[in-house]
Amino acid sequence: MKVKICGLNPLRDIKLCVDLGVHFLGFVFFDKSPRNVKLSDIKTISNYNRKNSSFVAVTVDPKDEFIKKNIVGNFDFIQLHGSETKERVIEIKNMGFKIIKAIKVKEEKDIGVYKHFEDVADLILFDSNSMERSKSIPKDLLSKIPKGDKFGLAGALNSKNILEYSKLGLNFFDLSSGLEKENLTGYKDHLKIKSFMSKIDML
């Protein structure tokens, strides 16, 4: 089972996550997000020894200029969280990235959207449509999410419910708010991260 921790702060969180063996470290580039990373911090991110971790730029409908100026050469994956078409995903992939395509799920018909991207995205992430408001996908839909190495889950995951979700047959889990300090959006709790990774090692 692989873990992605999203919404990381470049100055506080990277070394801990890399040392703990977190598989994917996610950095948000979206102005409306409380977890948005300053472009001036990209150099700090790119200078880290990543060891076995992959760095992910989390974006929403990114423009070519932004990608080429800021993301190319600094990140291993780009996560696409917007309304990107299959053709657009291919264009971005051809810039030299591995792709995580997020699929927002509110009702059953939304799950099938992944089929448009299955042959072009490296990983597909099923998320709620709450956009960082820590809501989970409706439980009656979880069993309908496809299983396998290519698929992951996000949305209100934490140390308390990961055991339940780990039984779904998915390859990776994406956490953000579930590993933050109480009432401090965007501020990761290092004790929670350590506890979570210890639990993952036991699964």
Q: What structural domains and CATH numbers belong to the chain?
A: 2-202 (3.20.20.70)
What tens digit of pLDDT does each residue of 160-178 get?
888 888 888 887 899 999 9
Point out which residues pair with 188 in neighbouring strands. Answer: 180
The per-residue pLDDT for 132 is 56
What are residue 88's phi and psi, to 5 degrees? Answer: -70, -40
Predicted confidence at residue 131, as pLDDT, reads: 59
* Whole-number pLDDT of residue 134: 61
pLDDT at 117: 98
Which pTM was predicted? 0.94
Average pLDDT across each block of 10 residues of the chain; the chain has 203 residues. List them in order. Answer: 95 97 97 94 96 97 97 97 97 96 95 97 91 74 91 90 86 92 93 95 83
- Which pLDDT belongs to residue 166? 87
pLDDT in tens, 35-54: 999 999 999 999 999 999 99
